[in-house]
Amino acid sequence: MDVSTLPHRLARIVGPANVLTAESDTTPYATDWRRRYFGRALAVVKPGSSEEVAAVVRLCAETGTAIVPQGGNTSLCGGATPDGSGTQVVVNLSRMNRVRALDAVNNTVTVEAGCILARLQTAAEAADRLFPLSLAAEGSCEIGGNLSTNAGGVQVLRYGNMRDLVLGLEVVLPSGELWDGLRTLRKDNTGYDLKQLFIGAEGTLGIITAAVLKLFPRPRAQATAFVGLDSTRDALALLTHMQSRCGDRLTAFELLSATCVEIVTRHMPGVQSPFARIHAQHVLLELSDTDAASNVRDVMEAALAEAMERGIARDVVVATSEAQAQGLWALRENMTEAQMREGRQVKHDVSVPISSIPEFVDAARAALDQAFRGVRVIGFGHLGDGNLHYNVASPPTMTEEAFMARMPEVNRIVHDLVVRFGGSISAEHGLGVYKRDEILRYKSPLEMGLMRQIKRAIDPLGIMNPGKVI
């Protein structure tokens, strides 16, 4: 069937104003956030309801047109970017941004896929509840993308990944059928848990249009601290110590290397370290409690004082105000932007068993330095759940361009060590295009075969986000 009339037919479904075809209009949707992947779209379609999404998908299936689902376009692996053929349709869900229902008694919220994460957090807070997913892009990323990549963020330590926060989904399948799985139940043992297929699938099996998510009691007492340490081993010792002293009140435990602190304070105006000197490693940690009268700050100060006495921690600052706490968090939340200003790096989003992190960090540093003498490692992440953003920048003896040309070699060194220590080469960013081929080295033929069988069964035409994941 002639696809030249497809934009006109799509406009009949969503309205002419919600179909973009001019290159000047579609380019922002065909470029990834890091500006690493650039594509071309036949059209960008902005449906306003699940029914419109279903109608758009049915039309694309009828014409054999590939679809790229997209939310806030904050993907870090090219997972929401069309290819360069100019034949793919980007289905952007940003108009579908409603909070459909919030049940404070059941501790659930039903939200559309285009809802910005920060807006959902605000809606939960207005109901005296907490939606705990929190990450640097929360002012622009959308729930559909968070679901499609199984996002993690800084509070996984206590609340889990996005997969742990989902009770039900609404999904448009590649056939254009609309599956209503918006269940609000904690227990539902009636066969296969189909929603899990779509979480983390990066839009390759269908388009998530809405979700039922868990809410929690809103914390009323919080304490934040920044700690300087001599090594990653000391950071791990501090994690063990704080968990034993504070239990599940330990909400966040973020690791920042000396290089990270130097970069973020140099590039981001107003962001400052509270210490007179930069330590080899730093930890940003938070305790929270639902009891307003809780003495979480006293608990934190006592635990950290003991860590100082035991020689685990070298320097400690406990925030005495909300403003000071925000200042400490700025050191972590501005890392991604600071890295962009620093220049190009080979980026890795990996996870390793928590107990193996010090050994992995040492082994990776030694292997990289042997291959690239003087290489700079910009390592930070969620130490409490084993997720490191292990990024590698060029040494002084190499140009940035020459170093980036050897990206496959850098990836091989880091990823081989990750797998040797029992880890994963993608923790929370997904595979997208960036790691689509790399994963073939680390997953067994059986596992890849099972994934392909699922893909063929649900998307026999292969139109749903082709070229991503598998």
- List, for residues 53-89, the tens digit of each pLDDT value: 999 999 999 999 999 999 998 887 888 999 999 999 9
306 pLDDT above the threshold of 70 = yes
Give the number of C-alpha atoms closer than 13 A to the C-alpha of residue 57, restricted to the C-beta side. Answer: 31
The sign one gets for the Cα dihedral 55, 56, 61, 62 is positive
- Distance (Å, rounded) from C-alpha 196 to C-alpha 176? 19
Q: CA dihedral defined by 46, 51, 54, 56, rounded to 10 degrees?
A: -40
Residue whose structure tokens are 């100082």: 308
33 pLDDT above the threshold of 80 = no
Each residue's pLDDT tens digit, 140-199: 999 999 999 999 988 998 999 999 999 999 999 999 999 999 999 999 999 999 999 999
pLDDT at 2: 65
- Across 39-49, b (16+ Cβ under 10 Å) vs e yields bebbbbbbbbe
Alpha carbon 416 to chain centroid, angstroms: 22
Look at residue 154 and give its three-state secondary structure: coil
More confident residue, 429 or 259: 259
Each residue's pLDDT tens digit, 363-408: 999 999 999 999 999 999 999 999 999 999 999 999 999 999 999 9
Tokens at 372, concatenated: 């690239």
- Distance (Å, rounded) from C-alpha 416 to C-alpha 74? 27
- Distance (Å, rounded) from C-alpha 464 to C-alpha 174? 6
Task: Give the gyration radius of the chain's Cα atoms.
Answer: 23
- Distance (Å, rounded) from C-alpha 178 to C-alpha 170? 7
DSSP-assigned beta bridge partners for residue 102: 109
Band of pLDDT at residue 359, cut at 50, 70 and 90: very high
Band of pLDDT at residue 1, cut at 50, 70 and 90: low
For every residue of 379-397, which 3-state class applies, written as one string?
Answer: EEEEHHHCEEEEEEECCCC
Each residue's pLDDT tens digit, 119-134: 999 999 999 999 999 9
Tokens at 81, concatenated: 């970017």
- Domains of the chain by start residue, with CATH: 99-217 (3.30.465.10), 221-336 (3.30.70.2190), 343-435 (3.30.70.2740)
Residues comprising the chain, all counted: 470
Q: What is the pTM of this model?
A: 0.91
The sign one gets for the Cα dihedral 177, 168, 29, 347 is negative
- Distance (Å, rounded) from C-alpha 3 to C-alpha 67? 13
